[in-house]
Amino acid sequence: MKLESLVKLNRTIRVIGFDDAPFVKGVDEYVSLAGVVCAGTRFEGMVWGKIHQDGFDATDVICNLLIGKKFLPQLHLVLLDGIAFGGFNVVNLPELSLRLQLPCVTVMRRQPDLAAVEAAMKNLPEFQKRYQILQQAGTIYDYAPFFFQVSGEEPAVIAQVLERLTDCGKVPEALRLAHLITAAVMTGESGSSA
């Protein structure tokens, strides 16, 4: 069932939210990635993977964690905590949506400073490749309190869905839980900035 219909009929929306774990820049080769599955705001399960720091495998790793596995047929939406994980391992948002056959959304806590992002990416190999993937994510929408990019659905529908998936604050519960879990696994305790 399409997201718009789920919202209109007040049905439960099943979502997975991905966030990366804390890591030491330039030291850790791999960065852990958690995907938390929620029905609305209720935790239902999770997946765990690893990506290369500043690599190009984030899109493939997310697809491998879901395609052919038990959670994908249950999901209505994929949420990402930003467009890049493990530094600048940028997710190809349109490709992710196409491969998973689901709407995919990057959620940001604030409007990003794109000039600063571009300047930082220039310090890494294959800048043009990274920048092109970043550009493919498209427009950053401002539906206060949410900033997001989306592939596979209309922004107005996503704004309504994000409200339903958020218990309190500006972060959908699946992303908040992924952030808390990755921090706890890597550092021994969850942080306060989820």
Q: What is the pLDDT of residue 64?
A: 98
DSSP string for residues in the chain: --HHHHHHTT---EEEEEEEPP--TTT-SEEEEEEEEEETTEEEEEEEEEEETT-S-HHHHHHHHHTTSSSGGG-SEEEEESSEETTTEE--HHHHHHHHTS-EEEEESS---HHHHHHHHTTSS-HHHHHHHHHHT-PPEEETTEEEEEESS-HHHHHHHHHHT-SSTTS-HHHHHHHHHHHHHHHSS--S--
Residue at 194 is within a domain:
no
Residue at 9 is within a domain:
yes
CA–CA separation, 94 and 175 (whole Å): 20
Residue type present at position 97: S
**Residue 14, beta-bridge partner list:** 39
Residue at 193 is within a domain:
no
CA–CA separation, 140 and 155 (whole Å): 10
Rounded to 10°, the helix 114-121/127-136 angle is: 150
Q: What is the pLDDT of residue 87?
A: 93
Domain that holds residue 26: 3-183
Residue at 156 is within a domain:
yes
Indicate which CATH number applies to the domain containing 177.
3.30.2170.10
Q: What is the pLDDT of residue 193?
A: 61
Please give the tally of structural domains in the chain.
1
pLDDT in tens, the chain (194 residues): 788 899 889 999 999 999 999 898 878 799 999 999 999 999 999 999 999 999 999 999 999 999 999 999 999 999 999 999 999 999 999 999 999 999 999 999 888 888 899 899 999 999 999 999 999 999 999 999 999 999 999 999 999 999 999 998 889 999 999 999 998 887 777 766 65
Residue at 177 is within a domain:
yes
Q: What is the pLDDT of residue 190?
A: 75
Residue type present at position 80: L
Residue at 162 is within a domain:
yes
